[in-house]
């Protein structure tokens, strides 16, 4: 739910003229990011104070020093207002951060991905370590293109599971302009899905 603000943006992503391709999650310009972050948190307020406050806190921590000062001040004021009427526990924020990072790891570090973000590269012997909310850690390793082994396994209540992720396969790595990139991005023939198996 906290990523609902990305939905409209994903339909028409920003184009990086210098690189000839769309901005990815890690390189998305902060000024553009806070525009839909703010709108997304506004929308979440209609659902509940807790989810809006958590998302605001998560976004500020995610952006760190890259957060524009105007956005930072507005969100701190929002958090103060919302938290006065709805108890938000820090543990909730830690779980949100953990699950968000876990999903980014799955989407951005698979063997099919050529460039892994530096902030997800806690790697040793082809393994990665992710901190958990209870100060523990998970070791994760891709055993195949669609299989991720996790130890200790944190999802005992559901056991091994799979989930399917919508994927756009662009036939080119760079484009001369945004219109050409959008044409391929929106072509139904380039839309598919990827199923990943999370297991012990």
19 is a domain residue? yes
Question: Helix 90-108 vs helix 49-63: angle between axes, to the nearest 10 degrees?
Answer: 60
- Both tokens of 23, joined, read 């901005």
Q: Do 12 and 45 have their domain in common? A: yes
Residue 93 lies in a domain: no
Answer yes or no: is 105 within a domain. Answer: no
pLDDT over threshold 60, residue 121: no
Q: Does the global pTM surpass 0.85?
A: no
Same domain assignment for residues 71 and 128 = no
Predicted confidence (pLDDT) per residue in 54-99, tens digit: 999 999 988 888 899 999 999 999 999 887 666 667 778 888 888 8
pLDDT at 64: 87
Percent over 90 (pLDDT), the chain: 42
Domain of 130? 111-200
Task: Say yes or no to pLDDT of 181 above 90.
Answer: yes
- The answer to whether 93 touches 62, Cβ cutoff 8 Å, is no
The average pLDDT across 129-155 equals 84
Evaluate whether 154 touches 132 at the Cβ level (below 8 Å).
yes
Angle of CA points 133, 134, 136, to nearest 5°: 100
Residues 116 and 60 reside in one and the same domain: no
Query: How far, in Å, CA of 38 to CA of 154, rounded?
Result: 32
DSSP-derived pairing of the beta strands 191-199 and 21-22:
unpaired
- Considering only the C-alpha atoms of the chain, give the largest distance between any 2 of them, rounded to a whole number of Å: 51
Give the count of domains, the chain: 2
Is 95 inside any structural domain?
no
pLDDT (0 to 100) of residue 132: 80
Reported as type and span, the H/E element at residue 92 is: helix 90-108
Tell whether 185 and 118 lie within a shared domain. Answer: yes
In a domain, 51, yes or no: yes
- The residue from 20, 54, 88 where one domain ends is 88
Question: Does residue 101 form part of some domain?
Answer: no
Domain for residue 173, yes or no? yes
**Using an 8 Å Cβ cutoff, are 167 and 192 in contact?**
yes
Final residue belonging to a domain, choices 37, 57, 88: 88
Contacts of 177 (CB under 8 A, 6+ apart): 15, 17
Specify if 96 maps to a domain: no
Examine the pLDDT at 124 and tell me if it is beyond 60.
no
Burial state string for 174-199 with b = 16 or more CB within 10 A and e = fewer than 16 = ebeebeebbeebeeeeeeeebebebe
Q: State how far the Cα of 8 lies from the Cα of 147, in Å rounded to an integer.
A: 30
Q: Of 33, 57, 88, which residue sits at a domain end?
A: 88
Residue in this structure with the two tokens 């080119």, named with its chain if needed: 172
């Amino acid at each position: 739910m906290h990523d609902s603000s990305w939905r409209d943006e994903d339909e028409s992503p920003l184009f990086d003229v210098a690189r000839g391709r769309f901005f990815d999650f890690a390189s998305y310009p902060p000024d553009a990011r806070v525009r839909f972050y703010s709108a997304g948190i506004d929308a979440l307020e209609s659902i509940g104070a807790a989810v809006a406050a958590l998302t605001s806190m998560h976004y500020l921590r995610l952006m760190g020093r890259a957060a524009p000062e105007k956005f930072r001040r507005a969100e701190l004021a929002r958090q103060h207002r919302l938290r006065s009427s709805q108890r938000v526990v820090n543990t909730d924020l830690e779980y949100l951060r953990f699950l968000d990072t876990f999903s980014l790891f799955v989407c951005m570090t698979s063997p099919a991905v050529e460039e892994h973000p530096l902030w997800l590269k806690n790697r040793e012997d082809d393994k990665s370590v992710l901190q958990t909310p209870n100060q523990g850690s998970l070791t994760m390793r891709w055993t195949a293109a669609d299989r991720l082994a996790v130890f200790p396994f944190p999802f005992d209540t559901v056991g091994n599971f799979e989930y399917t992720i919508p994927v756009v396969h662009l036939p080119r790595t760079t484009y001369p302009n945004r219109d050409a990139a959008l044409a391929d991005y929106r072509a139904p023939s380039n839309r598919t899905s990827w199923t990943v198996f999370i297991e012990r």
